[in-house]
Structure 1
Amino acid sequence: MSGWTPPPLPSRWTRAAAPRFVGRRGELDCLEDLWTAVRGGARQVAFLGGEPGAGKSRLLAEFCALLHDRGATVLLGTCVAEFGPPYQPFVEPVEALLSATGPGGPRDALARLVGRSEDTAEPDTRRELYDAAVDAIRTLTRTGPVVLALEDLHWCGVAGLQLLAHLVDRTAESPLMVLGTHRTTAPERSAALTATIANLYRLDGVRRLDLAGLSTEDIAEYLAHEATLPEHRARVAAALLRDRTGGNPFLLRELLRESAGTVPGPGASAPLSVQDMVAGRLERLSAPERQTLELAAVVGEECDLATLLAVSAWGEDTTLAALDTAVAHGLLESAGPAFRFPHSLARQAVLDLVPATRRAREHLRVAAVLEASGVASDRRTQRLAHHYAQGAALGAADRAVRYLTEAAQAASRSLAHEDAARWFEQAAALAEDPPHGHRLLLSAASAHLLGGDFARARALYAEVANAGGVRDRLEAAIGFEAASWRPGLPGQRAVELLTEALRGVPHDPADPLYVRGLAGLGRALAFLGATDQAGELGRRSVELARALEDDVLLAAVLEASLWNGLHPADAPAKLARATELSELAQRIGDPSPLGPAGFWRAAIAYQQGEPEVLAAAYWDVLRMARATGEAYFEYVAGCIRYGRQFLAGDFAGADGTCEQLLELGATFGTDDTEGSTAVQRFMVRRETGALEAVRALVSGEESPEGHWAPGLLALYTELRLDRPAHHVLRWLVDGGLERYEDAQWPCVLAFTVEAAVHLDDADALRTLRPRVAEYSGTNLRAGQFVAVFGSADRYLGMVDSALGRGTAVPLLEAALEMDTRMGAVVHRAQSLAALADHLRRGGDPGRRARALAEEAGQLARDLGLRRVLRALRPAAVPVPVPAAAPSRPAGLTAREAEVLRLLGEGLLNREISARLVISENTVANHVRSILAKTGAGNRTQAAMYAATHGLLEGSDGLQ
């Protein structure tokens, strides 16, 4: 076929506006294997099946475009549902081949096949036409591999299927790939095609690939790109959308399109396009079939047969036959004695098409059947709550409130705080008595607080604080403060609500609610920096609780008082209260106080250099979080774990914990933890020398007013951007420091001292020294283990060394002793390097300085502490520096190169996850990026790439 030009790819396959293609890695790997066989001269066939919208056509388009870019000839044929031409889907490929066929028998036969022949005489046999098509395709394959892409084979007629079978049977030794898409659900599912595929399975090289829904990881990638969500938020939203859409790409795309790119919540109406699709299917059903399906949708995403038969207005035989039809049409799936919808969006579309009043009436009929069953269980209560709530407009509000409240209480007992909150809110919305509604809102807010949605909790507490009775207002104000300090918000609004609420109740020292209000006000004032007033209220509330001899009340006010005072001098009294609070938890049989008590015991243990107490306190916090299901203290336990991993130099573990904290923080509503996690990751990356990756993103012109200035200063210092670092340092020291005197203050001190030492700014060092001296003899910790810096004496020693004071050596030696006691190898390496540097500054580069530097260098090499290695001055004390890391081709990041190396060793994602202490989601993301950057088609090719480029241990590379 010399001179013949293959047809271009269809424009719909190449349009730039197509949504991001995600997932299908397993299917693509399989197709790549088939293509390898085709290039070896063997015909291969793959039938791509699935429900409507499963992504069959998109997978076909992506793979064919890939092969076209590699030089393959791609011929596309399609089928249409109605009045399609004979021999579809071969019409378009044959028409493309006609121009390459000379006049005579074969061309005439091809022309007859597609209705282009002027000869009205009939061919001798249909075989003549089939052979002509096969011969033309085989001739084309002699010029190179050919791809025959056939879309929507479920609409192919018998003649076309016969031609397909003939072609597959006659091309076994031709470099031909046949790819066909088809629907596997009724009513489009084709019995004739199913029989054809089954018959072809006897031949070598014939495969069937049925597409399942996209995974949560695939959907997360799609959301990160199409909805521009941060990666951790995309993962949270993906789980919800996976349930709603079943991973169906069409439904996913339509759901996002209908909601203008935002992620719709549960219960939202199905997109109109989905409703139209479902409506089209419903029109093909008889009245009993449609009404039975609608009733199934009312019963739930999964409906048991007994309930359905009891509620149905049709006879048993009719109802059963209707269910069979729904299953055959892909509208329902059989699940043993029950039926379920393939995805919640399909059910929602059915519900949206039912008139509202009839839908409410059906819900009440279902509720009546369930209520009459008399089999009490939490699940029955939940179902009754749902159905009566949906039928509340028809006079069932009281029953709805009753069952919603019972369901919420049961959820609370099982620590399902999110469900409890939702059901309490629903009950409050239906309650006809305002005081009852306010109490239900308080319960909902409390459940939101435990579940970690602090913003929603504050909104509900504020609603009751503004509209409830006097005692409800005070309880709401107390709750609002509890939902404010957890995410570390300033206490101004909490102070206002508590002050107003306390003004409205008698100041009765014997009233536990009044005492709790005082304690909450004290903590809110502490978060505003009103230390003296906060301390007085804390002491007063503790005295009142002791006088009442109420252990539960005492536990509550002790917990609130722990946040009063953030300086080392406050530690002894705070430790005594935290210890008492731990003992109270045991005495009252409530694990809740162990969380705050454990955190402060851990914080003070770190501060005072007591690693055993730190470990015990960590386990108390973790035990409390698991016992109560309170997400906030699960987060706190993770922060403590991060701090311990950092001290030990377990940076891979610390980085993995950061990722877990980021994902957990994303569930806290608008009060996310991205800022804290950013600092935690910065601490890891600066020790390991990984900050260079962000240098191109830093201009040096950033404004300290528009950023967290201490963090900006630290970044400039590490990147050796001295001019902007000096600007930010002076901005802080000359008047900006006071605004940062909060729980992060030790972090501010550490970053400013490091910058002042690096810049040799004596004025700044003299200003900072008395501030740091307050912490002498302790370790520096910022917030909830957001950053741990080791001994404050190291920082004092660095300051005195730079200022030429004679106290540097004893201070640095005290720091070494603290680091050793804590088992903090990272900080010990830092203190060793600081002492060696001081001795060099003092003109003593002798034996001790050398020994200190060698020990620091050994620790740094063992742990990968490039920051410490940089601090060791090679000019004075020679320290072996690790060989430069091997080059990373294709623009791979350091972590991607590490993952690629493990891929080359044959490890699976879960094994890589365990080895690197990161989530499987992160591993999957790295693998996708590696494949894209290296151009590898699958994991095997990626492993070969790793070996070729010397990325495997023991590999010499082939470059």
Structure 2
Amino acid sequence: MARTETLTLLFTDLVSSTELADRLGHDAYEALRGAHFEVLRSAVATHRGAEVKSTGDGLMVCFTSVGDAVGCAVTMQQAVEKQTRQVRRPTGPIQSHLSHASVGAGVAACPPLRMRIGISVGEVTRESNDIYGLSAVEAARLCAAAQGGQILAAEVVRVLSRGLGHMFTGVGELILKGLNAPVAACEVGWEPLADETAIPMPPVLLAGRQFAFAGRQPELDALAELWRQAQDGARPVALIGGEPGIGKTRLAAETATTAHAAGATVLYGRCDDELGVPFQPFVEALRYFVENSVSDSREGDAPAEPLLARGTPQQEPRPPEATRLRERLGRYPGELVRLLPELADLIPALPPPLQSDAETERYRMFDAVAAWLAAASSERPLVLILDDLHWAAKPTLLLLRHILRFQPSTPGPQPGSAGGSPARFFILATYRDTELDRTHPLSETLADLRKDSTVQRVALRGLDLAGVEAFIVGAAGHELDNRGHALVRAVHGETEGNPFFVGEVLRHLAESGAPVQRDGRWVSDQSVGQFGIPEGVKEVIGRRLSRLSAAANQVLSMAAVIGRDFDLGVLASLLSLPLGEGRGEGNDGALVDAIDEAVRARLVNETGVVDAYRFAHALVHETLYAEVSASKRVRLHRRIADAIKVRRPDDVTALAHHYQQAAVGGDIDKAVEYSTRAGDQARTRLAYDQAVVYYRRALELFAEGEAPAEPLGEQPARREARPPKNADSSPPDHDEQCCELLIRLGEAQRDAGDACFRQTLLDAARLAQRLGDTDRLARAAVANTRGWYSGGGGVDGDRVAVLNAALGAVEAGDTPLRAHLLATLVSELQFAPDRNRLRSLADEALAMARRLGDPRTLAGVLNAYINAIHAPDTLAERLAAGAERVALAEQLGDLRERYSAHFHLMSASREAGDIAGSDRQLAILAELNDELGLPVRRWSLKQDQATRALLDGRAADAERLIAEGFEIGQASGQPDALLIYSAQVSDLRRMQGRLDELEPLIEHALTDYPGVSGVRATVAALYCELDRDEDARRLLDSDAANGFAELVYGPGWIAAMIDYARVCAHLGARDAAVVLYERLAPWHSQLGIHGVVNGSVALYLGLLSRTLERYDDAEAHFAEAHAMHERIGAPYWLAVTRVERAKMLLRRDGPGDRDRARTMLDQALATAREYGFGGVERQAEKIDC
């Protein structure tokens, strides 16, 4: 049925196509034409167009948006112009098309490809898969009138595209064939894509394309839409899951190839099953990016030589080139040296990586990777493929999650970007869903990413019958007859549509000689049943291997034990063969010949690096590995490790893997040594989760071997396992090394955010105590902390016992170690009831740090000291200590110390009512947070920003910041994340008059946080707001019975007093009000603000005075509170003060009091209605004047 609509129509035409066909020949021209249409259709998909039909040498496309049509035309011309440059050195889609055609010298003689385009817009009729109308005719005629490389559009297109950034030049009125009236037209301007920054497709994505890609159109369409979103700055992620051989990598490669043809940068990195190298896919992608961004050794679009082959001085990048590369690496290029040490040699004067605490260093590096992707994709969109994510080490998954959550510090241009365009990258990650269970690290990551709207899961299943038929048709090169259709059904039934299995079966059939070619078609005189399709892919692979020579099978069997990736040097060592320069002769030549035979059989692929190979599919590798007996594997792993040790002694991850596999044969020492060294290296690279794996494995090997390993060597720069069960009878050296491993494991667990670090370090400390090893005891004690108290409201007795034991063991004099032990003990005793002892320990630690004269020790001790003395009477002291700490931190230049110092000064300034000074500190904290990227600091900053928003009465901002803070706190494992969230959201809901929504949360607070001082007071105050007076009275009476002595005099004390002041005022509890007034009166000038916002202390003194009917005192206190709230700009608390003051005036009922009360209530109502303070509004409306 015909329908009429307004559309923009675009026509393309390849100029001089007949001449091209004559010069190239039919096969070459068709291959080139196919590549041409691929880039056109990629542009159509990118710009949300719909192909109407092919016109032979062009396309008719429709768009609902004029801007999309013009943008598509420009992209098409740019892609075709680039295609012309590439056709003499085929890459990307051109390579995949031309590799199946015998183009020979015809390609070299190919004239430039030139295309013309016409565009018009108007009302058209859509009928029977075609479009008719005047604008369709106009577009077609404008296309015919254009020159090669030109875009002609109707003038109305320019009018409707105004403001979209396209370039137009008027060409006047054109007389077009078939149209009665001239058409006002214009030319759309465009510029060729710059070639100097183009990076070729990674060769691994172009390998293994013997068969055409078939049967995945819906998935391709979905990924094309995500790619379009990426170009708009959305940064989507596609997680492609499925069984082995289902085509995950091929689907990602096809998507990336299309993007590359449209001008995108494509990068690739994979994860290995054997090695678990930290951040491996990102390291590989970064290395490829750097190698191909340094263009002096490149020719055209050829991939660059490996960095390690560029070591001579004359091959180093020239200064301008190094500068250009540095710009493309983003905001923190120096941090990337941790992943790619070669960068330091390539870019002169690269800033060194940040030196700080382990977590800060890691998150700075994570930010550096995210900033690199942002900068690299600001020039041209970027596609990053992360292959085989099911084998990813946990640090890799954490980095991926960080990249998805990474946000630039400010809107606008990305730091380090060239040109200031927004980040535009698309991540394609593949994984085997058959490898996952709920304990797999990737399962947790997938569950976490499911909450992110930019992440889309793509589940691949077997091809259906139509897909298998398309696959076989593509392989055969012609349509199928009835027997061919029977073959499709048989192959589909045997393989369930797994593309790898389908391909292996077809190879098996081709190699068996069953089908033969007659008159250009593949035919067979046998029935389908006679083809002998093998059962299962292992049998398919086995049959293909059986066709290789015995020598090739022997070589591949040994190569499989090396890993999916292997090099001839190690392989030659296994076979006891020299590997010199001469190839093709003697034993040396026999090895190369055997590998070449496997390459020809498509069981092994070359990687592009000399003497380096990779099994074509993981299933080929796994099949071969499984055929090697367990006994032989153990011996081969040992020999492989020994060979790697000679050739690559620094490759400790590979050495750890192979020595671990060989350990079952009794060689424990090397396995422990290299597992430990691999753990140390992982920590140096900030891959703490992977370090945990290595250290834990070393401990397991220790327990299994019960024999001492070689010395562990130097300590790493920074540092739930248990000591061996028979530790009491172990040799001393064994126990010392076990203790060392436990400390390193515990430190790695702590830095990885693994809560098991507590028990591991306690075990290490107890073992050190038994051994009398004071140094290790102290190290284990100091390491067992998150930097401040371990949890809200309680004291960790085990940690405190270890700290006391360490203090008793270390020398009594002044040492940095003793000062740090004291400071750590002070932090752990934050919630201890004996405040006098806490203050004494804090004073002792501070005095020692001052005597030592070491700025770093003093800064660390001051952190614990300020926390320890936090109470209302120490505000002046804390302000002074905070200022001193800021000066020390600036002197040290340590970002983490600076953040902590400015945080303390900000908090104290707020309590003093110095909001301007506090805001200055908050601004500095925001800047430092961008530099640090530390989750615990991001969490802290969100809290502080939410507190500031609450003070301003910005409810919407506060809502957002509170939620963001809670999410960060939960994700980073902060034990008090829920407590802080509950307190802040209670403040917000009270402000909005919606506290009833939190009643279930309030009910749990008493049982969830019994040790947190002041929780009972907070809950009692909330009960009053909910009219649960008896519940509130019960809690008030329980604490008032002993004069509120059980409320710890520390950071939360003043907030608890304020909450109980509210309760007294609500219930009219005079006896309790007397005690509370005496306790709060000295601090009348302070602001009750510590995480939550309670307004001026004077406000609550006014409430208590009103309760006690001391109205003149109440008036003075309310006036003081009014002045403070007005001065600091706190509209909510100003409105509350006016309402409470009005209540007092009405009770006093003196001359003029009622008039003043009415005025105050009117002012409070106006403010409440302006800001949405629902609770204040309801209170004010209830008061009868």
TM-score range (shorter-chain normalised) is: 0.5 to 0.7
Distance 2:438 2:742 in 1: 31
The structure 2 residue matched to 1:810, chosen from 1103, 1116, 1138, is 1116
Question: What does the per-residue CA deviation read over 1:693-724, in whole Å, with 9 as the maximum and x for residues that have no partner?
Answer: 35589899998997953343233222222232
The structure 2 residue matched to 1:286, chosen from 542, 545, 566, is 542
Is this contact kept in 1: 2:949–2:958, CA < 8 A?
Answer: yes
Distance 1:661 1:326 in 2: 49
1:497 Cα deviation (Å)?
Answer: 1.4
1:374 Cα deviation (Å)?
Answer: 4.6
Question: What does the per-residue CA deviation read over 1:218-270, in whole Å, with 9 as the maximum and x for residues that have no partner?
Answer: xxxxxxxxxxxxxxx9x999x99xx9996777766xx24999x999999xxxx
Is this contact kept in 1: 2:603–2:617, CA < 8 A?
Answer: no
The structure 1 residue matched to 2:1036, chosen from 713, 720, 729, is 729
Q: Structure 2 matches for 1:141-540, cutoff 5 A?
A: 255-256=437-438, 281-282=537-538, 284-286=540-542, 315-317=594-596, 319-320=598-599, 374=648, 381-394=652-665, 408-409=679-680, 411-412=682-683, 415-427=686-698, 432=709, 433-453=734-754, 455-468=755-768, 469-481=773-785, 485-488=789-792, 489-507=794-812, 509-540=813-844
| Letter aligned with residue 759 of structure 2 | A
Q: CA RMSD in A?
A: 5.1
1:492 Cα deviation (Å)?
Answer: 3.1
1:342 Cα deviation (Å)?
Answer: 11
1:588 Cα deviation (Å)?
Answer: 2.7
| Residues 399 and 704 of structure 1: CA distance in aligned 2, closer, same or farther (over 3 Å) | closer
| Letter aligned with residue 532 of structure 1 | N
SS in 2 for 1:528: coil
Distance 2:939 2:953 in 1: 21
Q: Paired residue for 1:773?
A: 1081
Q: Paired residue for 1:714?
A: 1021
| Residues 457 and 414 of structure 1: CA distance in aligned 2, closer, same or farther (over 3 Å) | same
Distance 2:842 2:620 in 1: 56
Distance 1:569 1:184 in 2: 63
Q: Paired residue for 1:830?
A: 1136
The structure 2 residue matched to 1:865, chosen from 1165, 1173, 1178, is 1173
Is this contact kept in 1: 2:859–2:885, CA < 8 A?
Answer: yes
Question: What does the per-residue CA deviation read over 1:200-219, in whole Å, with 9 as the maximum and x for residues that have no partner?
Answer: xxxxxxxxxxxxxxxxxxxx
| Letter aligned with residue 860 of structure 1 | A
Answering whether residue 1094 of structure 2 is matched by residue 789 of structure 1, we say yes
| Letter aligned with residue 1121 of structure 2 | A
Q: Paired residue for 1:582?
A: 886
SS in 1 for 2:795: coil
Is this contact kept in 2: 1:299–1:366, CA < 8 A?
Answer: yes
Is this contact kept in 1: 2:743–2:780, CA < 8 A?
Answer: yes
The structure 2 residue matched to 1:599, chosen from 891, 896, 903, is 903
Distance 2:1004 2:971 in 1: 34
Distance 2:938 2:764 in 1: 28
Give the TM-score taking structure 1 as reference length: 0.55
The structure 1 residue matched to 2:941, chosen from 614, 624, 637, is 637
SS in 1 for 2:756: helix
Question: What does the per-residue CA deviation read over 1:729-774, in whole Å, with 9 as the maximum and x for residues that have no partner?
Answer: 3233235944442533333223222222222222332232223324
Distance 2:438 2:836 in 1: 52
Distance 1:684 1:307 in 2: 67
| Residues 514 and 693 of structure 1: CA distance in aligned 2, closer, same or farther (over 3 Å) | closer
Q: Structure 2 matches for 1:890-909, cutoff 5 A?
A: none
Is this contact kept in 2: 1:609–1:821, CA < 8 A?
Answer: no
| Residues 729 and 384 of structure 1: CA distance in aligned 2, closer, same or farther (over 3 Å) | same
1:644 Cα deviation (Å)?
Answer: 1.6
Mean alpha-carbon deviation: is it higher for 387-396 or for 726-735? 387-396
Distance 1:804 1:187 in 2: 83
Uncovered stretches (5+) of structure 2, i.e. residues with no partner: 1-214, 216-240, 248-397, 406-426, 449-497, 502-534, 547-552, 576-590, 703-708, 710-733
SS in 2 for 1:563: helix
Distance 1:713 1:293 in 2: 74
| Residues 284 and 408 of structure 1: CA distance in aligned 2, closer, same or farther (over 3 Å) | same
| Letter aligned with residue 465 of structure 1 | A
Mean alpha-carbon deviation: is it higher for 354-363 or for 664-673? 354-363
The structure 2 residue matched to 1:655, chosen from 933, 939, 959, is 959
Distance 2:620 2:1083 in 1: 62
SS in 2 for 1:790: strand
Answering whether residue 1054 of structure 2 is matched by residue 746 of structure 1, we say yes
Answering whether residue 991 of structure 2 is matched by residue 687 of structure 1, we say yes
1:362 Cα deviation (Å)?
Answer: 6.4
| Letter aligned with residue 827 of structure 1 | W
1:568 Cα deviation (Å)?
Answer: 1.5
Tell me the percent identity.
23
Distance 2:646 2:811 in 1: 49
Q: Paired residue for 1:75?
A: none
Question: What does the per-residue CA deviation read over 1:28-83, in whole Å, with 9 as the maximum and x for residues that have no partner?
Answer: xxxxxxxxxxxxxxxxxxxxxxxxxxxxxxxxxxxxxxxxxxxxxxxxxxxxxxxx
Answering whether residue 1080 of structure 2 is matched by residue 801 of structure 1, we say no
1:474 Cα deviation (Å)?
Answer: 2.0
| Letter aligned with residue 744 of structure 1 | G
Distance 2:1170 2:1144 in 1: 23
Distance 2:984 2:780 in 1: 34
Is this contact kept in 2: 1:845–1:876, CA < 8 A?
Answer: no
| Letter aligned with residue 1103 of structure 2 | M
1:466 Cα deviation (Å)?
Answer: 0.3
| Letter aligned with residue 713 of structure 1 | A
| Residues 792 and 697 of structure 1: CA distance in aligned 2, closer, same or farther (over 3 Å) | closer
Distance 2:829 2:1114 in 1: 38
| Residues 766 and 286 of structure 1: CA distance in aligned 2, closer, same or farther (over 3 Å) | same
Kindly tell me the number of residue pairs found equivalent between the two proteins: 620
SS in 2 for 1:285: helix
Q: Paired residue for 2:715?
A: none
Distance 1:701 1:511 in 2: 43
Is this contact kept in 2: 1:747–1:781, CA < 8 A?
Answer: yes
SS in 1 for 2:868: coil
Is this contact kept in 1: 2:1125–2:1131, CA < 8 A?
Answer: yes
1:320 Cα deviation (Å)?
Answer: 3.9
Distance 1:350 1:796 in 2: 81
SS in 2 for 1:637: helix
Question: What does the per-residue CA deviation read over 1:468-526, in whole Å, with 9 as the maximum and x for residues that have no partner?
Answer: 2112112222233556614344153333212222222331x233222322333334344
| Residues 781 and 700 of structure 1: CA distance in aligned 2, closer, same or farther (over 3 Å) | closer
Give the TM-score taking structure 2 as reference length: 0.45
1:608 Cα deviation (Å)?
Answer: 0.5
1:864 Cα deviation (Å)?
Answer: 1.6
| Letter aligned with residue 822 of structure 1 | I
Distance 2:691 2:1129 in 1: 44
| Residues 870 and 517 of structure 1: CA distance in aligned 2, closer, same or farther (over 3 Å) | same
Q: Structure 2 matches for 1:85-96, cutoff 5 A?
A: none
Higher helix share: 1
